Amino acid sequence: MKIKSIECLKLVRTFPAPSTPPRHPVAMVGGKPGRTRNNPHPIHRYPDILTGAFVPNPGEAFFTRTMFVRVTAEDGSWGIGSSHWGEYTKAVIEQHIAPLLIGRDCMAIEHLNDLMWRSFQRLGHTGLVSMAQAPVDIALWDLKGKLLGVPVYTLLGGPSRVELDTYVTTSDIDWAMELGFTRFKIGNFIQLTDGTAGINRLEDYVGQTREKVGPDADLMVNVVMGYNVEFAIRVAERLRPYNLAWLEEPLMPWDHEGHAQLKRAVPTVPLATGETHRGRHAFAELINRRAVDIVQPDISWTGGLSETLKIYALAEAAGLQTLVHVGAGRPEGQHFSLAMPECTLAEYNLRSPVGIPLEEVLRVPGMALPVNGKIRVSDAPGLGTDYHPDDFVPFD
């Protein structure tokens, strides 16, 4: 079955407004719904760059607009994938990937990925290029599952578990606990320039959260690249009494030696990173150095399901876990996490305003949602999403 077309699309389907009112007003950041605590990115060291989930940092407006890619076979069957920064990646897909893949066998996913990977060497197979490849690859897996009448997790080897255990990323622990979550990841709100006073504030926040969730709950802190090695060591040492399940992405992704130094300095605090790493070679360096305990590739940024399978194999051979970024909140992440034995947890990023049930803010039709911290992944063909052709228009 040959590929007939590859299209970049925008979702225009409308969803009903929640019927349940929130219990209190949603905080507004930059004129849009925000979060009470925001993870500063490296650029937020500079005071003229505003922080916040929806404030337009350079390129951030493009991140918040999801771009979909539809791969259509010659019989009219189609698969859907998605990623971010579509304004940047659209040209790569339309002018590079589509001419390379159209007319080829849509079932030969490994061959098609190797063609893309080899053709990208002059451009560099990281960054925006890997984010262009990812939605095409995801759509190919979705299409293959639909053509064969099986869910993607079956294509990946079959389920390793009956349901997914999840952890929740949130700034509202009370709401997450009410929804039945028992594992929690909270944000970091300091930079290394905040010094000792910042560490004191962070320790207070982590300590209050630990007291709220209890001694037996998994608790993680997500830094988002805001530290250097020296500051990360100080933070990790201060947070040791709170028994963190891991400290996430404390350093910038290129600093493999820094990750290894941090791991040696604080061996009792597990380290996780990977959402900002792109492609198998970046992960191979981390894994070969034993610089982290958990790798966290983002399937829609690091090249797709095919590339993430290669990353998983490297980590598994080294005895490391792979917990994909936002794995419980995207269809491809759910299927991957269900199939892979070492994916023992899946991340769910809680965006529902307090009091509004998750199903009332669902924006991925057909995707399963967590109930008491567990997810029964859809067994419908492909990724199980319930999109229709007229849900989309060309991406502009």
Amino acid at 333: G
Give the residue-averaged pLDDT of 361-365. 87
Confidence of residue 45 (pLDDT cuts 50, 70, 90): confident
CB 21 within 8 A of CB 355: yes
Amino acid at 63: F
Tokens of 311: 């990353």
CB 236 within 8 A of CB 268: no
Q: Give residue 54's pLDDT.
A: 40
Q: Which of 321, 380, 365 is nearest to 347 (CA)?
A: 321
Q: Is the confidence at residue 209, as pLDDT, over 50?
A: yes
Q: Of 39-48, 115-124, 145-154, 254-263, which range is least confident?
A: 39-48
Q: Is the confidence at residue 222, as pLDDT, over 90?
A: yes
Query: What is the number of helices (H) and of strands (E) in the chain?
Result: 13, 15
Residue of 277, 325, 335, 388 marked active site: 325
Confidence of residue 63 (pLDDT cuts 50, 70, 90): low
Q: Between vectors from CA 271 to CA 229 and to CA 216, what angle results, nearest 5°?
A: 130
Predicted TM-score of the model (pTM):
0.94
Q: Can you tell me whether residue 376 is helix, strand or coil?
A: coil
Confidence of residue 48 (pLDDT cuts 50, 70, 90): confident
Q: Is the confidence at residue 26, as pLDDT, over 80?
A: no
The domain spans of the chain are 154-375
Which CATH code for domain 154-375? 3.20.20.120
Q: Give residue 58's pLDDT.
A: 58
Q: Give residue 57's pLDDT.
A: 54
Instruction: Decide the pairing of beta strands 374-375 and 164-169.
Output: antiparallel
Q: Is the model more confident about 65 or about 121? A: 121
Confidence of residue 309 (pLDDT cuts 50, 70, 90): very high
Q: How far apart are CA 362 and CA 357, in angstroms?
A: 9
CB 340 within 8 A of CB 312: yes
Which stretches of the chain are assigned E, i.e. beta strand?
A: 3-11, 28-29, 32-33, 67-73, 78-83, 164-169, 183-187, 218-222, 246-248, 271-273, 294-295, 321-322, 346-349, 374-375, 392-394
Confidence of residue 53 (pLDDT cuts 50, 70, 90): very low
CB 8 within 8 A of CB 94: yes
Q: How far apart are CA 254 and CA 39, in angstroms?
A: 19
Instruction: Decide the pairing of beta strands 67-73 and 321-322.
Output: unpaired
Confidence of residue 35 (pLDDT cuts 50, 70, 90): very low
CB 35 within 8 A of CB 29: yes
Is residue 96 annotated as a catalytic residue, yes or no? no
Q: Give residue 104's pLDDT.
A: 98
For the stretch 221-255, what's the b/e string if a residue is b when 16 or more beta carbons lie within 10 angstroms of its beta carbon? bbbbbbbebebbbbbbeebeebebbbbbbbbebeb
Q: How far apart are CA 312 and CA 331, in angstroms?
A: 18
CB 202 within 8 A of CB 162: no
Average pLDDT, the chain: 92
